[in-house]
Amino acid sequence: MKNVMIILAVIFFIISALETFYIYNCQKYYMEGCDITMKTPMGENKGMDFEKENVFGKGELNSAYAKYFKGNSYLNPLVDLDKCSLPMFNVTFEPGCRNNWHIHHATKDGGQILICTAGKGWYQEEGKEAQELKPGVVVVIPANVKHWHGAQKDCWFSHIAIEVPGEGLSNEWCEEVIDEEYNKL
Ligand code: MN
């Protein structure tokens, strides 16, 4: 009887130890998972904080336009396109992600509006200095002006993008923003 008690006690001890080890590892992987996913050494929009700050939602991986972006971006449609003729998307860029140089062409009106919602990014028009983007900044991009927009290299960034209605609308996608230029920012 005494031996049975000792064996039960040992089994109980082993189960407890394994459980503690298991819980510790889950917590550890969970924490590391956040850091790896969000890659934010800057501190100010680290992991979960950015998710909280990004109130318009990250949405789905933007695979349809991936060829015009360097790095991963995500799209969250904000209006039902069947019920509203003004498309609006919250676009989220991972750190270092930006779109290629591009032009929103129009023969009348047109262009694009960016409403910055979370994190930190850049907007640059051809021949001008890059402008820092942060929540609250609104950029009105005239039609037919070559430009790019995206995240800063160590920060996640989101903006709402609105295509301004007009006539003769089309988008022209150009060359990548090369690392040499981007890394100087
Ligand atoms: Mn644009």
Encode pLDDT of 110-141 as tens digits.
999 999 999 999 999 999 999 999 999 999 99
Beta pairing class for 170-173 and 102-105:
antiparallel
| Interval 2-21 mean pLDDT | 59
| Interval 6-33 mean pLDDT | 50
Asked whether residue 24 carries a pLDDT value surpassing 50, the answer given is no
Q: What is the pLDDT of residue 49?
A: 84
Q: Compare 48 and 73 and report the one with higher pLDDT.
A: 73
Q: What is the pLDDT of residue 47?
A: 57
Asked if 146 and 110 touch (Cβ cutoff 8 Å), the reply is no
pLDDT tens for each residue of 78-103: 999 899 989 999 999 999 999 999 99
Distance, CA 112 to ligand 1 centroid (Å)?
6
* Mean predicted lDDT score pLDDT of the chain: 84
- Reported in sequence order, the residue ranges of the chain that DSSP labels E, i.e. its strands, are 60-61, 69-70, 73-77, 88-93, 98-99, 102-105, 108-109, 112-119, 121-125, 131-133, 138-141, 147-151, 157-163, 166-167, 170-173
Cα–Cα distance between 42 and 21 in angstroms, integer? 31
Q: What is the pLDDT of residue 81?
A: 86
| Interval 40-61 mean pLDDT | 75
Distance, CA 175 to ligand 1 centroid (Å)?
13
Distance, CA 116 to ligand 1 centroid (Å)?
13
Distance, CA 115 to ligand 1 centroid (Å)?
12
Distance, CA 61 to ligand 1 centroid (Å)?
18
Distance, CA 162 to ligand 1 centroid (Å)?
9
Q: What is the pLDDT of residue 133?
A: 98
Cα–Cα distance between 43 and 49 in angstroms, integer? 9
Report residue 86: phi and psi, to 5°.
-110, 95
Q: Compare 26 and 155 and report the one with higher pLDDT.
A: 155
Distance, CA 126 to ligand 1 centroid (Å)?
12
